[in-house]
Amino acid sequence: MTSPTTSPTTSPTTSPTTSPTTSPTTSPAEYDANAFVLLVDAREIVVCCGTGGVGKTTTAAVIAIEAARRGRRAVVVTIDPARRLADALGLTELSDEPKQIDPQIWAVSDVSASSSASSSASGSGGTSRGSLSALMLDTKSTFDKLVTEHAPDPPAAQRILDNRFYRNVSGALGGTQEYMAMEKLYELHASGSFDIIVIDTPPSRHALDFLDAPERLMRLLDNRMFRLLMAPTKTYMKVASVALQALLRTVSRVVGREVVDDAIAFFQAFEGMEEGFRLRAAKVQTLIDDPATAFVLVTAPRRDAVDEAAYFAQRLATNGLAVAGLIVNRIHPPFGDADPAELRARAGGNAALLQLADMREIALRERTMLEGLTGKIPSDAVGYVPLLAHDVHDIATLTSVASHLFTP
Amino acid sequence: MELRQFCSQSRVVIVAGKGGVGKTTVTAALALAATRAGLSVLICEIEGKSGLAAAFDSAALEYDEIELAPTLRARTIAPNDAMVDYLESHGMKRMSRRLANSGALDVVATAVPGMKDILVLGKIKSLEQEAIADLIIVDAPAAGHAITFLMAAQGLLDAVRVGPIRKQAAEVAELLHDPARCQVILVTLPEETPVNELIETAYEVEERAGVALGPVVINGCLADLGTAVADATKLGASQFGAPENASPEFGAPAFSGDDIDARVVANAHAAVAFQSERRTMQQAQLARLASSLPLPQIELPQLLSASIGRPELEALADALVQGIEAL
């Protein structure tokens, strides 16, 4: 038998209700549910980041529901929820306005199916003051609203909204979705209608596209080539302009003149609004840096997900930001502490014992992988959610996920 | 179907699926399978940073081909590189680097949605026409993006009315729409959400993008438990003592006594119950997939090992070959 003390992450699944064998060595330092309770009680913004397929959207929903149950006015902003989760949250379409969810759906007393729910609601709150809203981000209408707000007058706004280049930008193009998620975050925060905003980040190739979004959008709008094109007569730009005109001719030859004309028209219409956009981008940045904002990394015991989480943590650190929570989803239960090789040797052909040996091997592999992770990512709160036999798509299963994060 | 015949159906195979389903692993396993049939293979990575090179113990992939194994080569096709390549081969060599570095591509790509994808697909098309390998396997962007990727040619034909890029898009569309030249293999996991997304993607690939679909590959399938359930009940009378505290239900409280053997028995029961519940769930999802999507399925097993290296890829290639031969 292996000694459980040799591995600091022997028992990621500490909930006694679901893990077949709970290691007696779990210490609060390894698994501090209070840290997550503190997070939902004290923070104003929670940004959930992670690579695809790790349960980011689910986690965002769980955090928002818990906050509402603890008496806060919570809103969850989702990007592309799986159909059944969207249904569970009562989200039927993209929208600009958060939609309040009937407390009957999420309040604990109604989730009698989940035995673990009661403990997670025993906190300070009570459900009377709390509320839960949800919003499925509509990138285009968020962008339209931003344009309308910053345009000097309605005709100028219309010129931009009608421009073909703008319509392409405001579609789901690189960085736009990320930026609009941020914009929506700012808007909801400024409205003062919510105590806590939980945001699910877009399924980017790299989670950190989200962090870079304001800067990337500004870079596009700032593009030197087009800035110069807008003012070709200013003498100090003359020299550069000649070279740029040549570049432009090349572009025109490849894609056609009208595409270039659209783009120029856009940048011209955009002039004057730029300052407003820049100011707003700066405010969004301030919000990201605010201590009331928490970054929660969501990952799974999978090589690519773990690597991505470590990379993202490093990026946050570079930006002077801390990881407030690390949540590892979809962990296999440990099934005791027996050594797989020993089990196989003793199995005598018994398929059940061989199965146990396989499960032990998977568990050990996952724990080895996660050991490195918690070392690399210093986080106030670390939570582990076991692999469930079924998809998480209703409030009862969301509640059971919550029990793993918020039950001490 | 015979392996060589399967791998020779079209010169280009695009492997697509949502993030985290093991697209790159399937790409590599398919490549190995094709080399076993005596074909030369080129893998094209679109997004890079996939772990493909690491699985073959090779340095990171670049725009220039490298050899991963005999008759198996790989490279990346990043949009910026593809643009420089395109401009150079269209008599605009002097301009190409500057255009790429000035950020102009960002602006043009925004002005012309699908521009980057067309540059990438255009490169794949010219590799296909050069017959650079018997089989070109493309590790596509994650689903969602994959649809955009495959729709790029059509979108661009609508948006751009003149010029060489339009011609490029037309040629790419021709490649994509010809099942004898190109097909898409979709990858998923036997779970509810990935299956739903796969079904949606499949219809979009076929109906909207007009690209032919090969079989669906399902990663991470649990094997039949065989006699495990029956064997679990035998454990009580075996060398491990009576499992009086063992509950066969998943999620049952753990046995906390000191008797190590009894604990093992309890855990064996729990492990078998857990796996059989997961397997039942997987089988239901596979059945649902089969009834909603008239495409053959190839199942790949869940692996126990910690990371994907050459031996794991060979094992997956074995399973893939088996699945192909059963088609």
Distance from CA of B5 to the nearest CA of A (A): 33
Angstrom distances, CA of residue B89 to CA of A171, B92, B171: 31, 7, 16
Within 10 Å of residue B65's Cβ, how many Cβ atoms? 17
**pLDDT in the model for residue A270:** 74
Residues 247-306 of B with CB under 8 A from A: 250-256, 260, 263-264, 266-272, 274-275, 277-278, 281, 304-306
* Chain A residues touching B161 at Cβ < 8 A: 256, 258
The C-alpha atoms of residue A48 and residue A297 are separated, in whole angstroms, by 6
Provide φ and ψ at A27, rounded to 5°: -115, 160
Q: Are B34 and B69 within 8 A, CB to CB?
A: no
B100, two tokens:
């790429």
The answer to which of A98-102, A168-172, B183-187, B226-230 has the lowest mean pLDDT is: A168-172
Contact A336 B113 (CB under 8 A): no
User: A133-144 burial by CB neighbour count: b if 16+ within 10 A, else e?
Assistant: bbbbbbbbebbb
ipTM (interface predicted TM): 0.82
The C-alpha atoms of residue A242 and residue A232 are separated, in whole angstroms, by 9
pLDDT in tens, A244-280: 667 677 777 777 777 777 777 777 777 777 777 778 8
3-state DSSP assignment of residue B137? strand
* Chain A residues touching B304 at Cβ < 8 A: 358, 361-362, 365
Contact A304 B254 (CB under 8 A): no
Q: Report the phi/psi class of residue B57: left, alpha or beta, with left for phi > 0 and alpha for psi in -120 to 50.
A: left
pTM of the model as a whole? 0.82
Contact A361 B278 (CB under 8 A): no
* Chain B residues touching A227 at Cβ < 8 A: none
pLDDT in tens, A112-127: 334 344 444 444 444 4
- Percent of chain A at pLDDT above 70? 72
Cα angle: A281, vertex A287, A291; to 5 degrees: 155
Provide φ and ψ at A380, rounded to 5°: -60, -40
**pLDDT in the model for residue A114:** 40
Q: Are A111 and A395 within 8 A, CB to CB?
A: yes
Bridge partners of A47, per DSSP, are A199, A295
3-state DSSP assignment of residue B12? strand
Contact A358 B304 (CB under 8 A): yes
Of A162-171, A296-305, B65-74, B79-88, highest mean pLDDT = B65-74
Distance from CA of A259 to the nearest CA of B (A): 6
Asked if residue A90 has pLDDT above 60, the reply is yes
The C-alpha atoms of residue A12 and residue A33 are separated, in whole angstroms, by 12
Asked if residue A143 has pLDDT above 90, the reply is no
Provide the number of CB pairs (under 8 Å) joining chain A to chain B.
214
- DSSP run (H or E) holding B183: strand B182-188
The C-alpha atoms of residue A86 and residue A402 are separated, in whole angstroms, by 18
Written in H, E and C, the secondary structure of chain B is CCHHHHHCCCCEEEEECCCCCCHHHHHHHHHHHHHHCCCCEEEEECCCCCCHHHHCCCCCCCCCCEEEECCEEEEECCHHHHHHHHHHCCCCHHHHHHHHHCCHHHHHHHHCCCHHHHHHHHHHHHHHHCCCCCEEEEECCCCCHHHHHHHHHHHHHHHCCCCHHHHHHHHHHHHHCCCCCEEEEEEECCCHHHHHHHHHHHHHHHHHCCCEECCEEEEEECCCCCCHHHHHHHHHHCCCCCCCCCCCCCCCCCCCCCCHHHHHHHHHHHHHHHHHHHHHHHHHHHHHHHHHCCCCEEEEECCCCCCCCHHHHHHHHHHHHHHHHCC
DSSP letter, residue A390? S
What's the one-letter identity of residue B181? R
The C-alpha atoms of residue B137 and residue B135 are separated, in whole angstroms, by 6
pLDDT in tens, A219-243: 666 655 555 555 544 444 455 556 6
Residue A227, burial from CB neighbour count under 10 angstroms (0-12, 13-18, 19+)? middle
Rg (CA), chain A: 25
Residue A201, burial from CB neighbour count under 10 angstroms (0-12, 13-18, 19+)? buried
- DSSP run (H or E) holding B282: helix B260-292
Question: What confidence category does residue B239 fall into, taking pLDDT thresholds of 50, 70 and 90?
Answer: very low
Q: Report the phi/psi class of residue A8: left, alpha or beta, with left for phi > 0 and alpha for psi in -120 to 50.
A: alpha
Question: What confidence category does residue B63 fall into, taking pLDDT thresholds of 50, 70 and 90?
Answer: very high
**pLDDT in the model for residue A222:** 64
**pLDDT in the model for residue A28:** 36
Asked if residue B322 has pLDDT above 80, the reply is yes
Inform me whether the C-beta atom of residue A212 falls under 8 Å from chain B C-beta atoms. Answer: no
Instruction: Give chain A's mean pLDDT.
Output: 76
Asked if residue B250 has pLDDT above 60, the reply is no
A188, two tokens:
């909801």
Question: What confidence category does residue A395 fall into, taking pLDDT thresholds of 50, 70 and 90?
Answer: confident
A351, two tokens:
């398929």
3-state DSSP assignment of residue B218? strand
Position of tokens 């009680």? A41
3-state DSSP assignment of residue B162? coil
Q: Which residues contact B106 (CB under 8 A, 6 or more apart)?
A: A219, A220, A223
Helix axes A139-150, A176-191, angle to 10 degrees: 70
Of A31-35, B48-52, B84-88, highest mean pLDDT = B84-88
- Percent of chain B at pLDDT above 70? 86
Asked if residue A161 has pLDDT above 80, the reply is yes
CA–chain centroid gap for B145, Å, is 14
Q: Are B195 and B188 within 8 A, CB to CB?
A: yes
Distance from CA of A72 to the nearest CA of B (A): 30
pLDDT in tens, A163-214: 877 877 666 455 677 778 888 889 999 999 999 999 988 765 555 666 666 6
The C-alpha atoms of residue A375 and residue A306 are separated, in whole angstroms, by 12
* Chain A residues touching B166 at Cβ < 8 A: 256
B25, two tokens:
């692993």
Inform me whether the C-beta atom of residue A261 falls under 8 Å from chain B C-beta atoms. Answer: no
Of B55-69, B148-162, B230-244, B253-267, highest mean pLDDT = B55-69
Question: What confidence category does residue A147 fall into, taking pLDDT thresholds of 50, 70 and 90?
Answer: confident
What's the one-letter identity of residue B287? A
User: What's the average model confidence in pLDDT over B127-132?
Assistant: 96
* Chain A residues touching B157 at Cβ < 8 A: none
Residues 108-167 of B with CB under 8 A from A: 108-113, 115, 141-142, 144-145, 148, 159-166
Distance from CA of A34 to the nearest CA of B (A): 23
Bridge partners of A197, per DSSP, are A45, A75
pLDDT in tens, B19-29: 788 899 999 99
User: B314-325 burial by CB neighbour count: b if 16+ within 10 A, else e?
Assistant: ebbbbbbbebbe
pLDDT in tens, B144-201: 678 888 888 887 887 777 778 888 899 999 999 999 999 999 999 999 888 988 999 9
Q: Are A99 and A137 within 8 A, CB to CB?
A: no
First to last CA, chain A: 28
Closest CA to A263 of A248, A246, A280, A273: A248
The C-alpha atoms of residue B133 and residue B73 are separated, in whole angstroms, by 9
Question: What confidence category does residue B291 fall into, taking pLDDT thresholds of 50, 70 and 90?
Answer: very high
Q: Which residues contact A348 (CB under 8 A, 6 or more apart)?
A: B238, B239
Residue A118, burial from CB neighbour count under 10 angstroms (0-12, 13-18, 19+)? middle
Asked if residue A408 has pLDDT above 80, the reply is no
Position of tokens 């003051």? A129
| Interface probe, candidates A353, A361, A369, chain B, greatest B C-beta count within 10 A | A353
Q: Are A360 and A330 within 8 A, CB to CB?
A: no
Which one has a higher pLDDT value, B8 or A285?
A: B8
